[in-house]
Structure 1
Amino acid sequence: MKIGTIELGEQPLFLAPMEDVTDPSFRFICKEFGADMMYTEFISSDGLIRDGHKSVEKLNIYDYERPIGIQIYGHIIESMVEAAKIAEEAGPELVDINFGCPVRKIAGRGAGSGMMRTPDLMVEMTRQIVEAVKLPVTVKTRLGYDDSMKNIVELAERLQDVGIQALTIHGRTRAQMYTGEADWTLIGEVKNNPRIHIPIIGNGDVASPEKAKEMFDRYGVDAIMVGRATYGRPWIFKEIKHYLQTGELMLPPSVPERVEIAKRHLKKSVEIKGDRTGILEMRRHLSSYFKGLPNFKETRMKLVTLNDVEELFAVLNSITERWGDNTDILKELYNSPLNGKS
């Protein structure tokens, strides 16, 4: 599969951009486990053109992440065009437009998936961004705004016609948010439309290797984007690839292996953002690596309250000492919902 001149191989796996989750340190870990394509957290076009610190900071990308796209969102064409130019200057491989975020404060003002209520504006914005930058432009969107407006099949053709070079479709409407089961039927319809020649990336509820294979086989998508299933489980990319290649499921990382992953993640977070911010932003990840461990409440509280790097490393080491030799725990982790077993 290729996006423009970006070669991504056969059946590539994408890491979905997730606000406050997929920062550079998490992307570092996901890349280790085989993510083929990643994106920055989505960036406000207004924040970029006003030189807002939080928005500009998200432009920081690193060689270990490549290929990577910078994702932008907004509801005003002129601001989005200017933001796309700024994003291009940061040196990614592509610029991605977020037409998929369902959060009220975004969609409510017409950005993200709110744009699906105004398809003409959505297409015109995309056209102007494609013309304004030299990099490939891609789009991430949903099936439609609600059940009465599932317009993705028509929109896919129109977006392709104005020059996008790949389309990611999340199998829910904006109204669904993240509830209910993702419906891949329309994703498959877009992919199998004879008029569509750009890559189609499917997204939604891929939480196990078996599910990934099913989506590739049943709907013929060119790639799969994995989002919430990576949270506390970045090794899912390795699990999926192993299953696609061999048809066999891998055992999940043991407790000592998870501890080492958490250490690398913490070290990278502090390296990039400094001790204070690096630790604060790791709290949401640290306890997630160890979901399913019995009698873990006291240790979890330490992981989400300590402010010293060395103390956190000591707590992580204590996890190996206390839970690392229990083979029954590994069986429990293997059969946990985190590994798509129930």
Structure 2
Amino acid sequence: MEGGEDDSRQGSTLVIHQTTEQLIARCIAPVKKDFLRPPPDRTTTSSAPNDKPPVLAKEKKSKRQLKRERLQDKKSTKNLCPNLAKSGDVNSCPYQVNCRFSHDIQAFKEQKLADLEGECPFLKSEGACPYGLSCRFLNTHQEGKPLSSNGLKVRCEVNGFSKDVQKLLWKNKMTFPKTDAKLKSLGLLNKSKGNAVKNKDGGDKCVQSDDNGSCAVTSELENKDDGDKHHQSDDDGSCEVPADSDSKLERFVEVIKDDDGIKRELEPDIPCPQKKRKTAENCEDEETENEVVSVDDQIVDGCCIRSEPEAGTEVITPETDLSLKSHSREKKLIDFREKLYLAPLTTVGNLPFRRVCKVLGADITCGEMAMCTNLLEGQASEWALLRRHSSEDLFGVQICGAHPDTVGRAVELIEKECTVDFIDINMGCPIDIVVNKGAGSALLTKPMRMQNVVEVASGTVDIPVTIKVRTAYFEGRNRIDSLIANFSSWGASAVTIHGRSRQQRYSKPADWDYVYQCTRKAPNNLQVVGNGDVFSFVDWNNHKTECPELATCLIARGALIKPWIFTEIKEQRHWDISSGERLNIFKDFVHFGLQHWGSDTKGVETTRRFLLEWLSYTCRYIPVGLLDVVPQRINWRPPSYHGRDDLETLMASDSAADWVRLSEMLLGKVPDGFTFAPKHKSNAYDRAENG
């Protein structure tokens, strides 16, 4: 243990005695010597009374056991029936004794955690809290008003996922005529696969990929006699039941047997509804915040209609919320030039974080990357990534898929169900689980499949389609500059180039010279967005000066570490932000998080978890007033230092225990047994869960 202490002190001494140039050469931030301190000792076991006990490894449980525990937990007194919590009336629940939640109000109040300080986040936006008795700010609710207005979350959020759509996706009864028509025109229809879902006995379909980027799928569907049948699609869209078991699936249908014993194909259907006119009742949610897109007072048909429906069948389409959807005649191309573009960020790039960045000056926002297969399977958690706040006036969603038919069906469904300004296709994700499925940066090794994906997606929807790529998959091989001249002819409106290869990950600085080279090769009708290591207005200015052809720069990790980078770029200054101003930004995030995830106990803890994930990045920021050289570079490792006040010192800590203490300043004490480990483990410099 003593050796560890000596090494820490020796390392601190080396930092103190090295010159600024030597520190920068080693990628260590040159902090003023007056603020340096020895790194905290985490090698010894402290016996201080306030220290928490060591965290033990959790026992692994089976899925069945976890499901049983979840059902039991719902029935416990800590989970009050939502209908009962909203209204306060025991007779308000339509399920009564069959309800999965508790109806014991008294027992719920006895075990409920103490109310938090502050005001309920819903009172100003809705006038009444949709969480009622479950709200952790119940003491601020106004007496004499109903506990809940309408049971909805903040109305300024759109792109909700309809249960009707989810059921159609679960049952595999959704049609995609636009995608099928585009696939047929490109000669990919017979090679494409249908909607990616599981069969009734839970087995996954077998996907086989061709070299040209198309894919084939064999699937088993159960008929009413419990016999598994294989279906094969012809060019005209009809289905047959062949004798061999290796047939390919293009379109899913349900086979039934009539009373006379004849097998027939049936596509169950629902009527195709028309969009209601805008009235004061159905548009009051748009008046609470600034509207994203204005729509004339007219009937809008958002249904997906096949040109030649088969006899006896109707198109299966859900009723969609198109209150903010643009008319096709109002289609516009997104102009990225000179706009501040917040990158789609996994985990931390959630809706509350994007609202914070909008307040601080971001112009364009994009949702977290969503997997096409998960969207087509109707996973609510994946559709939640597409939600949009009304303050996001230029908003896109990012999707990731391996095959043209999967991506085409996903973009067609998104255009029909959501209000977005553009759809970005991720062809640069380096994560193994994505690459191993042939998606993300794996597409960089298959140019023909890239072309098919972009052509199908852009030819299926009316909104702009953009793509995001890396310089290459392997260093120096199949580089993207050989393809950039073709992107616009494929149908892409813009391309974002991350100045690193997939092999490189984040091990070296982004290669902006190569980004400039690609930008100059791009045709005039293709907007090129550069990405990589933008961390100050100086970086932004340099890239725009070196390559005026760049439309803009995408800001990713820089926004995670200091979201006020958008303010710095717009005001062209280095903001020496104080600890109090930073805390106010965290308060805004908490407020937005409670509105998004809920003000009950579950919503509070969800907000806390995402706040802690974000704090694992913000601790890398070094205040401007503490640096010998300004601005800070994104690859500089901060030495151990103390701030100008206790709060600034706490915010500089790389310990998860200090992140938890910061969260307690905003969201109250953590529950008993609470532990936290960052999802991105590389952001935690200590192994301890909570210190």
TM-score class, shorter-chain normalisation, is 0.7 to 0.9
- 1:212 pairs with one of 533, 536, 540: 540
Secondary structure at 1:126 match in 2: helix
Shift in Å, 1:307: 10
Equivalence for 2:552: 223
The answer on whether the counterparts of 1:100 and 1:142 sit within 8 Å (CA) in structure 2 is yes
- Residues 132 and 282 of structure 1, relative CA distance in 2, 3 Å threshold: same
Counterpart secondary structure, 1:147? coil
Partner SS, residue 467 of structure 2: strand
- C-alpha distance in structure 1 between counterparts of 2:578 and 2:429, whole Å: 34
1:137-286 equivalences under 5 Å are: 137-193=465-521, 195-220=523-548, 221-243=550-572, 249-274=573-598, 275-286=604-615
1:40 aligns to 2:367 (yes or no): yes
Aligned to 1:70, the other structure's residue is in SS state strand
Picking from 374, 378, 381, the partner of 1:54 is 381
Task: List per-residue Cα deviations over 1:152-210 (Å, max 9, x = no partner).
Answer: 11221222111111111000111111220110122212221263431110000111211
Q: Do the aligned residues in 2 keep the contact of 1:72 with 1:96 (CA within 8 Å)?
A: yes
- The CA distance in 1 between the partners of 2:332 and 2:491, in whole Å, is 11
- Whole-angstrom distance in 1 between the partners of 2:381 and 2:608: 17
- Counterparts of 1:170 and 1:144 in 2: how far apart (Å)? 10
- CA distance in 1 between counterparts of 2:431 and 2:335 reads 32
Q: How many corresponding residue pairs?
A: 303
C-alpha separation in 2, matches of 1:78 and 1:228: 32
Task: String of CA shifts for 1:307-331, please: whole Å, max 9, x gaps.
Answer: 982458xxxxxxxxxxxxxxxxxxx
User: Following the alignment from structure 2 to structure 1, what is the Cα–Cα distance between the partners of residues 522 and 586?
Assistant: 45
- 1:64 offset after TM fit, Å? 0.7
Q: Is the 8 Å Cα contact of residues 169 and 201 (structure 1) preserved in structure 2?
A: yes
2-side partners of 1:4 and 1:117: how far apart? 32
Give the superposition deviation at 1:6: 3.0
- Distance (whole Å) between structure 1 residues aligned to residue 554 and residue 398 of structure 2: 14
Alignment of 1:117-136 (within 5 A): 117-136=445-464
Larger radius of gyration: 2
Distance 1:76 1:226, change over 3 A: same
Pairing partner for 2:434 from 94, 106, 114: 106
**Secondary structure at the counterpart of residue 529 of structure 2:** strand
Distance in structure 1 (CA, Å) of the matches to 2:576 and 2:379: 40
Aligned: 1:65 with 2:392: yes
- Equivalent residues of 1:81, 1:132 under 8 A apart: yes
Q: Distance between the aligned counterparts of 2:426 and 2:397, measured in 1?
A: 10
CA apart distance, 1:148: 3.2
Q: Distance in 2 between matches of 1:159 and 1:286?
A: 38
* Partner-residue secondary structure (3-state), 1:161: helix
Note the residue ranges of structure 2 that are not aligned, 5 or more in a row: 1-330, 599-603, 623-647, 671-691
**5+ unaligned residues in a row in structure 1: which ranges?**
244-248, 313-342
Contact conserved, 1:262 with 1:286, CA < 8 A, in 2? no
Is contact 2:428–2:441 with CA below 8 Å preserved after alignment?
yes
Distance 1:81 1:267 in 2: 37
The residue type equivalent to 1:301 in the other structure is: V
Aligned pair partner of 1:309 in 653, 660, 667: 667
Cα deviation, residue 290, structure 1: 5.4
C-alpha distance in structure 2 between counterparts of 1:287 and 1:178, whole Å: 17
Query: SS in structure 2 opposite 1:231?
Result: helix
Name the TM-score, length of structure 2 as normaliser: 0.42
Change (3 A) 1:90 1:137: same
Between the aligned residues of both structures, percent identity stands at 27
The 3 A distance-change label for structure 1 pair 309 and 210 is same
What's the offset of the Cα at 1:55?
Answer: 0.7
Provide closer, same or farther for how the CA distance between residues 202 and 260 of structure 1 changes in structure 2, counting only shifts above 3 A.
same
Distance 2:618 2:476 in 1: 40
**Are 2:499 and 2:512, in contact at CA under 8 Å, matched by a contact in 1?**
yes
Counterpart contact for 1:73–1:80, Cα < 8 Å: yes
- 1:29 corresponds in structure 2 to 356
